[in-house]
Amino acid sequence: MDKNTAEKLYEAFYMKVYSYVMTLAKDHDDAMEITQETFFKAISTEKGFRGESDSYTWLCAIAKNLFIDECRRKGRFEDAALEEYEDTGKSFEASLMDSETSMRVHRILHSLDEPYKEVFQLRVFGELSFKEIGSIFGKTETWARVTYHRGRIMIQERMDQS
């Protein structure tokens, strides 16, 4: 990849990729490191971008793989206990705004199976469209919508149970 193309790619997608990685890592320093490594890998790889998908989707796929590698390296996957959920009468989306409830949602999210966890995080925290989410997984927009909806129901049920 030539220097001009690499600079354009970096300028166009840095913040979007960083936001995506932040939804996964939930840590500024880790997200910054993984994002930088993503662009380094994208720019320096021999294979390069083949044009079979959107550039953003390609970068997110690289970032996701780097994040998974980092988690395996650090042994970060661990179970989290669920806290009790108090029914405040708010809608599910409105209750996400409450910081205490948000922490509960994050703990429940941590215990969700893939792909529900990642799809929910990409939609809510990464603010990606269903089309973009489907593209990241190599699936359809409808698949992303259904997976998000099912994940949302699972979270709501677990919050209601506790």
pLDDT digit string, tens, across residues 73-129: 776 443 332 233 334 444 444 444 455 666 777 788 778 888 888 888 888 777 788
CATH number at 156 reads 1.10.10.10
Q: Which of 40, 74, 108 is the last residue of a domain?
A: 74
The rounded mean pLDDT for the chain is: 76
Q: Which domain holds residue 37?
A: 3-74
The answer, as to whether pTM is greater than 0.75, is no
Domain boundary among 42, 74, 106: 74
Classify residue 79: in a domain, yes or no. Answer: no
Closest CA to 109 of 87, 98, 125, 89: 125
66 in Cβ contact with 39 (< 8 Å): no
Establish if 85 belongs to a structural domain. Answer: no
**How does residue 51 score in pLDDT terms, banded at 50, 70 and 90?**
low
- Any idea what DSSP says for residue 47? S
Looking at the domain assignment, is residue 86 inside a domain? Answer: no
Q: What percent of the chain has pLDDT over 90?
A: 2
The string of pLDDT tens digits covering residues 151-160 is 888 888 888 8
59 in any annotated domain: yes
Residue 80 lies in a domain: no
